[in-house]
């Protein structure tokens, strides 16, 4: 079915009809997808270790599925890392795939504090293009866009490098932006994008952001929607705009480009596009003066009057940025982009009108072979910590149940076999025969001192409770946050770092600190606090610009701006040094005093 889709060109095949068809028969499509993966990679070292010389060609798909899941063990990245490292070091034998792997993706490294290699092939680019087309088809039903309109895309490439074995390595977004698939897409839609390739691939996110904003405003009446990989990038772009709007207006007025743009190729490309437009510059300047008085509420709607929506990944670690994104968007709809990871795309948003907090993703059964590990809570009404779950045996996509939480397991075309992704999802329903998933959280515990167990989701809920006091009592704004479990000093305790905008009295910040400490519902944490085996929560207020320094640290170490996610918990000594040097106030909770 996937091959049939790829064979259709010039609009002869309706991609939405294709997906509705495979969704209807998702269970059957999954068995065929697994067969195709195993046939394409038959005889590779990793599979031979578990399957031996079994002739899979003569087996029925359902029997092959049973054999595969009974003989091949579940694997973590640590299990596959030695094989991937051999590939990175130049071993050209068929280790994980029969297709040569010439490119490796780097995960963002902001979740676990270190980047990891993941195989990237032509299939990775093809599925990226496919899900973009599919998602656009569903969005266009609700938010139709004009023919000839433009897109303001805050997208960025990072630098690629060579491994010891000569393979190209970089982020998945960088590989896609460098791929033939993306180049073809750009050529076909050249009239629709505001920024040329030279802006996307400059390697300097600050200069690229300035040019994205400049060109987006130059074509402001033509922009149909605004997008980026993560919500974070859009928020950061408009925070930058608050600082640089006057300079941007001057560039539009005179048809010039700021001296801060120093990359020759980017300067040349942008100057070939813009021309003096004093009338437009005056209009934008007038609008910006009004917006500045309103603290930039509704900025996007005001400056891009033809925009239909804002589109980005807004789930998981991006949720804390929704408040600021809505601040900028005003009444413009926020549409959550699709569900994927460095390892594989997983699901498409088939209901773009759903608010980001309630979005679900329909699994695409041709992209990978999916299994789901059922997770059951051991204790009721005490803790949402994932290590309090009991695991059951993995089940195939066709056997998942509505309301049940699962950890996702992937078998991919790129050489990952029964790979535990670490994402916890809940099945919210079905689209035809394929499950619709609600992303719950990453499985990894991020805050723990002894018997306490708190996840990123737990931390987000706690910070939301505390930051509500900022809004209600001080009309201030939480810019960003992270945390650290201090186990060097006894008793160990949690430290939460806040960067805030606005003036806040110390009594309010003390109350915020107390509120957060009291909001952790994990049973182990509550008991430990009461017995003082975990010390009072510490709230550290850092100076403005601290989280930009953290961003710059990651960018300087090879991360892509478009893939950056603020680490919600860190033990990285460099980051802790930045945070502690920039701390200007400290507060300790009296919640259990």
- Per-residue model confidence as pLDDT tens digits over 2-47: 333 333 333 434 889 999 999 999 999 999 999 999 999 988 999 9
Q: Mean pLDDT over all residues of the chain?
A: 86
Q: Is residue 493 within 8 Å of residue 538, measured between CB atoms?
A: yes
**Which has the higher per-residue pLDDT, 183 or 339?**
339
460-507 pLDDT per residue, tens: 899 999 998 888 887 888 999 999 998 888 888 999 999 999 888 999
Strand partners, 362: 348, 436
Q: Quick count: other Cβ atoms within 10 Å of Cβ 276? A: 13
Task: Tell whether omega for the bond before 491 is within 30 degrees of 0, i.e. cis.
Answer: yes
78-132 pLDDT per residue, tens: 999 999 999 999 898 999 999 888 888 877 554 444 568 888 887 887 888 889 8
In this prediction the pTM is 0.82
How would DSSP label each residue in 333-368?
A: PEEE--EE-SS-EEEE-S-TTS-GGG--EEE-TTTE
Burial class (CB in 10 A: 0-12, 13-18, 19+), 283: middle
552-593 pLDDT per residue, tens: 888 877 677 767 788 888 888 899 999 999 999 999 998 887
> Which residue bears the tokens 């996007």?
300
- Per-residue confidence at 382, pLDDT binned at 50, 70, 90? very low
pLDDT above 70 as % of the chain: 91
196-214 pLDDT per residue, tens: 889 988 888 899 999 999 9
**Which has the higher per-residue pLDDT, 12 or 135?**
135
Lowest mean pLDDT: which of 98-112, 245-259, 269-283?
Answer: 98-112
SS3 497: strand
- Per-residue confidence at 55, pLDDT binned at 50, 70, 90? confident
282-304 pLDDT per residue, tens: 999 999 999 999 999 999 999 99
Distance between alpha carbon 404 and the CA centroid of its chain, in Å? 24
pLDDT > 60? residue 385: no
Tell me the range of 174-183, 389-398, 422-431 where mean pLDDT is highest. Answer: 422-431
In angstroms, rounded to a whole number, what is the distance separating the alpha carbons of residues 108 and 120?
15
User: At 254, which helix (H) or strand (E)?
Assistant: helix 231-254
Q: What is the structure's pLDDT at 378?
A: 61
Q: What is the mean pLDDT of residues 45-74?
A: 87
- Would you put residue 92 in left (φ > 0), alpha (ψ -120 to 50) or beta? alpha
Q: Is residue 522 within 8 Å of residue 479, measured between CB atoms?
A: no
pLDDT > 70? residue 225: yes
């Amino acid at each position: 079915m996937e091959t049939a889709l790829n064979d259709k060109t010039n609009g002869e095949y309706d991609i939405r009809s294709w997906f509705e068809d495979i969704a209807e028969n998702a269970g059957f499509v999954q068995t065929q997808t697994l067969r195709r993966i195993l046939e394409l990679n038959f005889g590779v070292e990793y599979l031979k270790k578990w399957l031996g010389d079994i002739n899979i060609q003569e087996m029925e798909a359902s029997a092959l599925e049973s054999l595969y899941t009974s003989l091949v063990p579940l694997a973590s990245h640590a299990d596959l890392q030695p094989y991937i490292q051999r590939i990175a070091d130049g071993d050209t034998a068929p280790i994980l795939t029969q297709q040569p792997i010439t490119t490796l993706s780097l995960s963002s490294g902001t979740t676990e504090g270190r980047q990891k290699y993941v195989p990237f092939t032509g299939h990775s680019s093809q599925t990226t293009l496919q899900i973009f087309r599919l998602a656009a088809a569903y969005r266009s039903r609700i938010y139709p866009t004009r023919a000839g309109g433009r897109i303001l895309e805050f997208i960025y490439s990072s630098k690629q490098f060579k491994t010891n074995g000569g393979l190209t390595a970089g982020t998945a977004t960088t590989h896609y932006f460098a791929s033939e698939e993306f180049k073809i897409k750009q050529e076909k839609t050249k009239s629709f994008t505001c920024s040329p390739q030279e802006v996307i691939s400059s390697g300097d996110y600050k200069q690229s952001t300035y040019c994205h904003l400049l060109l987006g405003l130059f074509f402001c009446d033509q922009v149909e929607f605004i997008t980026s990989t993560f919500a974070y990038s859009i928020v950061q772009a408009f925070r930058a705009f608050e600082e640089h709007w006057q300079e941007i207006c001057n560039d539009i007025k005179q048809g010039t480009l700021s001296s801060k743009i120093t990359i020759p190729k980017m300067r040349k490309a942008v100057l070939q596009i813009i021309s003096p437009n004093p009338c437009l510059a005056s209009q934008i300047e007038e609008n910006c003066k009004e917006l500045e008085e309103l603290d930039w509420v509704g900025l996007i709607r005001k400056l891009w009057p033809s925009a239909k929506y804002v589109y980005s990944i807004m789930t998981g670690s991006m949720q804390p940025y929704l408040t600021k994104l809505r601040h900028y968007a005003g009444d413009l709809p926020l549409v959550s982009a699709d569900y994927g990871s460095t390892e594989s795309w997983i699901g498409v948003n088939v209901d773009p009108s759903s608010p980001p907090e309630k979005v679900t993703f329909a699994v695409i059964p041709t992209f990978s072979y999916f299994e789901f590990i059922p997770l059951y809570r051991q204790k009721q009404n005490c803790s949402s910590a994932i290590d309090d779950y009991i695991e059951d045996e993995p089940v195939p996509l066709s056997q998942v149940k509505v309301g049940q939480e699962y950890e996702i397991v992937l078998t991919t075309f790129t050489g990952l076999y029964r790979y535990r992704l670490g994402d916890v999802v809940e099945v919210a329903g079905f689209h035809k025969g394929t499950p619709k998933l609600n992303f719950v959280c990453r499985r990894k515990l991020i805050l723990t001192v002894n018997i306490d167990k708190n996840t990123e989701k737990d931390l987000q809920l706690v910070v939301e409770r505390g930051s509500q006091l900022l809004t209600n009592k001080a009309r201030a704004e939480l810019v960003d946050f992270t945390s650290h479990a201090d186990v060097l000093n006894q008793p160990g305790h949690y430290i939460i770092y806040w960067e805030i905008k606005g003036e806040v009295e110390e009594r309010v910040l003390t109350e915020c600190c107390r509120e957060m400490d009291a909001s952790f519902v994990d049973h182990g944490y509550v008991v430990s606090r009461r017995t003082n085996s975990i010390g009072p929560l510490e709230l550290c207020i850092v100076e403005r610009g601290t989280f930009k320094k953290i961003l710059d640290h990651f960018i300087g170490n090879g991360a892509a701006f478009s893939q950056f996610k603020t680490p919600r918990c860190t033990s990285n000594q460099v980051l802790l040094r930045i945070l502690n040097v920039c701390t200007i106030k400290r507060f300790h909770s009296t919640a259990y005093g």
